[in-house]
Amino acid sequence: MFKKVLIANRGEIAVRIERGLRELGVASAAVYSDADRDSLHVRLADEAYRLGPAPSSESYLRIDKILEAAERSGAEAVHPGYGFLAENADFARACADAGLVFIGPPPEVVHLMGNKVEARAVAERAGVPTVPGTGALTSVDDALKKAPGVGFPLLVKATAGGGGKGMRLVSTLEELSSAFEQASSEAQASFSNPSVFLEKFIERPRHIEFQIVADQNGNTVHLLERECSVQRRHQKLIEEAPSPFVDDALRRRMGDAAVALAREAGYVNAGTVEFLVDAKRNFFFLEMNARLQVEHPVTELVTGWDLVRLQLQIASGEGLPFEQSDVVARGWAMEFRVTAEDPFQNFTPSAGRIRFLRAAEGPGIRNDSGVYAGFEVTPHYDPLIAKLVIAGDDRMHCLSRARRAIREYQVDGIATTLPFFERMLADERFIAGDVDVSFVDRHWMSEIAVRPSERRSELLTVALAAAAAEDGSRRTTRRGPKAKASAWKQMGLREQVGNRL
């Protein structure tokens, strides 16, 4: 096992990796931008190194600065987390050239699976069903010629990257030219690669993915599936394991397909094979994420296997400590991505200082967070601030425990997605597991968000304002009439508001 690992990331995932390293007795070296100088991942690390100014292009995306920090720290390996450089083949190769172990797949595999067209070819060689589509396109004219063969509606998609960037839905041939230009331009801006391809649009599919792990000895297994259909504009919001839609027969077929694809690609370490599944349980390969996923905790809770620990063990040369027959689901788990966004304002980012924070606690609750009360959430990075992960004996138990946890979770100072989760947990369709990737976009602003319901944030704002006014009237002139209510009074008001919901 390594003696020291540098974490080339920030936020909750850096904290998660630091904790995994500490359990193994491995020292952690963090990196940070000027905006993250006081971040939790910096505070918890054994040592930390400045990268540069706040913009990620000048800090977390600077391969040279990260390698310099690794050299200064004496780290033997680099964990990329997710996002930033996690799926950058040049970074993986640069680590190897610098004598560092990249905790992930080999550079050539990162490159192979990072290109959606090449990844599709790997899937086809492995006998895995793929969505009808084209190879990489060289021009608009090329797209216009090949689109009728794919059929409408279709998607114009970037060959690199993910997260819905560089993607446009096209319903008619007349829309294709502008969609092609927009997707290509966005792909260039997001991934420095303007290449796009066409893919048949499957209406209202489910997004179901399989976690795989593979050691350096050729052993590859899957750790069951995750349901990721609750998403907005291709950004996941709620994930769960297992899927309420997948039966045993489909689980075997999809699991076998995921393992076959990983073996065909020569995959090593942890990765995820993503599928689209239609109402008739036909599944199609979507892409492979050559890294640790944001939603990995739900897999850990239902299988009992620590994925970060497995990543470190595999990267250090150890074999998998289990076989496929050892993987069994126990109970149910759900992850709620708590982001600094206002769900009532079209999920607009909400930067600012967190004035008060009380995470949910109790049986079956895990909170993976990178923030604390007093932390300044900036607009420079992804708005994810925490992941609330719930475990239960079964799905109904998990749902009831999640409702309790969401009501307990308090964040003041910024808007978050917590009210969105409250409403989803009360929606009969979500409770029944009747969702697809377009569910939120179809129903949220037009229906769920405007249901009559007391909003905790509104009640708390009114209560605190009234308390501040009352206290202000009692203050002496020296202290001023605008003094805030005491911390004890604020806490009491929060409890009262919680009890009224």
Instruction: Report the half-sphere exposure of 485 (CA within 13 A, side-chain side).
Output: 18
Whose CA is closest to 107, among 287, 263, 267, 215? 267
Q: How far is CA 418 from CA 78, 345, 347, 423, 493, in A?
A: 33, 14, 12, 9, 19
3-state secondary structure of 309: helix
CA gap 386, 365 in Å, rounded:
13
Q: What is the CA radius of gyration of the chain?
A: 23
Two structure tokens written together for 274: 């993503």
Two structure tokens written together for 59: 């800090």
Two structure tokens written together for 112: 């192979």
Strand ranges, E, within 53-153: 77-79, 101-102
Q: Out of 291, 366, 423, 456, pick the active-site residue.
A: 291
CA gap 18, 472 in Å, rounded:
45
CA gap 169, 320 in Å, rounded:
41
Q: How many CB atoms lie within 10 A of CB 487?
A: 9
CA gap 153, 501 in Å, rounded:
44
Amino acid symbol at 468: A
Active site residue 93: no
Omega before residue 105 within 30° of 0, cis: no
Name the phi and psi angles at 391, rounded to 5: -115, 140
Report angle CA 185, 84, 299 to the nearest 5 degrees: 115
Residues belonging to the active site: 291
